[in-house]
Structure 1
Amino acid sequence: MRVFLALIMTVALALPARAEVDIQEVTSIGGLTAWLVEEPSIPFAAVEIRFRGGASLDAPGKRGAINLMTALLEEGAGDMDARAFVRAKEELATTLSFDASNDAVSVSARFLTENRAESMALLKAALTQPRFDPEAIERVRGQVQSIISSDLKDPNDIARQTFRELVFGDHPYGSSLNGTEASVAALTRDDLLAAHRAVLAQDRVYISAVGDITPDELGVLMDDLLGDLPETGAPRPERVEVDIPPGVTVVDFATPQSVAIFGQRGIKQSDPDYFAAVILNHALGGGSFESRLMEEVREKRGLTYGVYSYLAPRDLAETYQGSVSSSNDRIAEAIAVIRDEWRKAATEGLTVEEIDAAKTYITGAYPLRFDGNATIANILVGMQMLDLPIDYIATRNDRVMAVSPEDISRVASELLDPDGLHFVVVGQPEGVESTAAN
């Protein structure tokens, strides 16, 4: 029986991409709001929940508490210890997962219609009655500390952490959400209970559902599932005014290949020019082998296996970042080429051919994202957190196509700051030294 149920879930996840998504807004009696795509053809549904704030709500001196708390939500709840909780999920053929980022705690549920009530009761127990048993805390704490220890020896993670500290300082964004070995070691059960109250609250929740569930059923589900959570959570940190100093930071690390993270100030996802920036970045460094950086740094000069750039808007700060790795004796040349391409794009913009290719890819890839209930639910909850209109899916590609070459040239000149780029280089690079601007 369980094999059969699992097969149904697999089929539901593999539904073909949909050309249209009919979204309904549902408000529960208790005042909670969700977006719903009703799809009764298969007896399966996916529910996505986000609590805004995430690990940025860690209390001072308690970095890593929300990450550890989130990891423990499936380690026992109510009268079930960790093993009993896992058995209950398996018997129901239900998938529950929990994750923390700096801006949100994410909760994902996938379940069969016939098991909806039992599955949601299990999820409610995890959200409202987590056990935080001592043995579970120590086991998961050990897993987190192992990750932290590994990151301290990884040049990529060292570069990322150095860049975070440079840009965000003592703001929560300035450190890993995992915490440090010392901060995680010091966390108590009371700290985890406080972290739970801080982030899992009704005033910051976003909900979506896709599948075999009606608006009335979803309204009842929301109130029952979330109605016992605190009405308000902890206040969020202030916004970060990104002011990255130009220059280079070198972190000495014994390795034959240097890793570099580079970046500058970014652009808000709500900015009217955001799609122009997306097109610009695709052509400059976000389009894999078709980008200028890949062509100039890898294909023409053989300086790296890969180089890329990406827009990194967060709730409280925006950066524009990239990454490259090269041998110690060639990383200086790679940095020079990246700065040069940044400057060319800033002064010359993109060609019509580059713009057309970027638009074709960006609009063509978008429908492929809608490949199953869980994926669509994830997109819907993300749209809500970004305060996008409910018809955004239908209009998004039109917005991309409406961006003109003049828009892109203007945004390139305003956004790209070749002299303001900062490179964090981890390795033993030849001809690269830390600058006084650090």
Structure 2
Amino acid sequence: MVPVQEVKTPGGIRAYLVTERTVPFLSLGFHFRGGAKLDPFGKDGLASFTAGVIDEGAGPYDTQAFRRELEDNVIRLGFDADRDGFSGHLKTLSATRDHAFELLRLALHEPRLDAEPVERVRAQVQADLSRRAKDPNAQARRHFYHGMFGTHAYGRPIRGTLETVTLFSAGDVRTYVSEALRKDDLVVGVCGDIDAATLAPLLDHAFGTLPAGSAWTVETAVPMAGPGLEIVEIDNPQTVAMFGHGGIERHDPGYQAAFVANHILAGGGFSSRLMEEVREKRGLAYGVGASLVELQGAPLWIGHVATSNDRVAQSLEIIASEASKLANGMLDSPELEDARTYITGSFPLRLTSNDQVAGMLVGMLTLDLGQDYLDRRNQLIEALTLEEVQAAARRLFHPDAMRVVAVGKPQGLKAAA
């Protein structure tokens, strides 16, 4: 695998770097712990709104001038927020990288937040929320997380609501930036035409004057709701269902085995058991799958299926049955070998571009996987025994504990009174 260097700057920024000289450009990704989890109560969606407006003009550049600087210099810059983090990406040619890092610095430290772009972004967010209110997939996700976590930050909508979005002011955004984007919560991944000595001062230029300390409160065990069924009725010929329960934490010794077990059940595309049983054999749904989801203090196993209203109950029964089979040890060596071959063989395909490598490096730092993770990852998969994967399946899959949200007009399902 490619060599990964750790870069620690004089200003206290920590980064992983892969130097790739083939093409004269670089990709940078970064992640601040926090994200929507740091939204003030009653102002759900502020982190996401902040990600949408801080590059709408910064420093001496209004919105149009800032966009021209990016486009004229072939620079790509953007921000995003999720439940656990506030993130961003930068892509630049080597010839314009100093200017690119300056524009990144301006967006983080001197966002203009002029009235016109703030109101334009607000209108865009409101239009998106109105669309999502009619989208069964979006509704299933929203109700699932709210049902699982209630009023905890993980249960609140990442993008906010039509009501909360109307409350955001430029002052709210400035407060979020100054209080939530802290140096100790930041990790950076870089891949491309640059070495460590050149990168370090650029990182300090862009991030070095951020406030010290952390805005993050460590939670080791976030309360989660138990099993249940929630039906959200909308007039739709199809029902979208989300299902899941607690998962296995990323640093648990059994995580890799659980990852393989989930791949066999629901994560292996057309080769997974659920695709075989739900789609191929019975034609109940076009797609079905599940994955392990990382939330700090609240790891999850979450799946989804979409099918006609009269077939959703049967689909969920098959999903629970197949999960039970794996939990009861019904797994043989050939199936494990097939999964192992796919997982290890497909891993390099996730590292075919500078963007992908930078993103992987950010994930490695965020999850504290170690500088040598790219070398160790496939070795960890190869070393798993059948007994270890069977044991992980017993720990991971609990059909009786599943929480289900069904959005549509499902037949044969009845929510608890």
The change in CA–CA distance for 1:314 and 1:162 in structure 2 (over 3 A counts) is same
Residue 63 (1) aligns with residue 44 (2): yes
**Is the contact made by 2:219 and 2:296 (CA closer than 8 Å) also made in structure 1?**
no
Query: Do 2:237 and 2:309's aligned partners in 1 also have CA atoms closer than 8 Å?
Result: yes
Name structure 2 gaps, 5 residues minimum: none
* Residue 210 (structure 1) aligned with residue 210 (structure 2): no
**Greater Cα shift, 75-84 or 107-116:** 107-116
Give the counterpart letter for 1:58 in structure 2. Answer: D
User: Within 5 A, what are the aligned runs for 1:94-113?
Assistant: 94-113=75-94
Q: Pick which of 152-161 and 133-142 moved more.
A: 152-161
Q: Select between 181-190 and 224-233 the one with higher mean Cα deviation.
A: 224-233
Counterpart amino acid of 1:174? G
| Residue identity opposite 1:48 in structure 2 | G
1:29-428 correspondence runs (5 A): 29-236=10-217, 238-428=219-409
**Whole-angstrom CA distance in 2 between matches of 1:161 and 1:381:** 26
Aligned position for 1:10? none
Aligned counterparts of 2:7 and 2:365: Cα–Cα separation in 1: 13
* Aligned-partner residue type, residue 80 of structure 2: D
Please tell me the residue identity of whatever aligns with 1:297.
V
Secondary structure of residue in 1 paired with 2:12: coil
Of the structure 1 ranges 378-387 and 223-232, higher mean CA displacement relative to structure 2 is found in: 223-232
Distance 1:63 1:243, change over 3 A: closer
Secondary structure of residue in 2 paired with 1:77: coil
Contact kept, 8 Å, 1:281 with 1:310, in 2: the verdict is yes
Q: Is the 8 A contact 2:12 2:183 kept in 1?
A: no
State how far apart, in whole Å, the 2-side matches of 1:302 and 1:200 are. 48
Instruction: Give the AA of the match of 1:427.
Output: G
| CA distance, structure 2, for counterparts of residue 124 and residue 427 of structure 1 | 46
Cα distance in 1 for residues equivalent to 2:53 and 2:322: 46
SS at match of 2:286: coil
CA–CA distance in structure 1, aligned partners of residues 271 and 64 of structure 2: 48
Q: RMSD of the alignment, in Å? A: 1.5
| Alpha-carbon distance between aligned partners in 2 of 1:261 and 1:377, rounded to the nearest angstrom | 31
CA distance in 1, matches of 2:412, 2:71: 57
Counterpart of 1:310, as a letter, is S
Moved over 4 A (4+): none
Secondary structure, in 3 states, of the residue corresponding to 1:186?
coil
Name the aligned partner's letter for residue 402 of structure 2.
L
> 1:16 is matched with which residue?
none
The alignment partner of 2:285 has SS state of coil
Percent identity of paired positions between Structure 1 and Structure 2: 41
CA distance in 2, matches of 1:176, 1:255: 23
Alpha-carbon shift at residue 166 of structure 1 (Å): 1.0
Quote the Cα distance in structure 2 between the aligned partners of 1:422 and 1:60. 25
- 1:170–1:247 CA distance, 2 compared to 1 (3 A): closer
CA contact (8 A) 1:242 1:319 kept: no
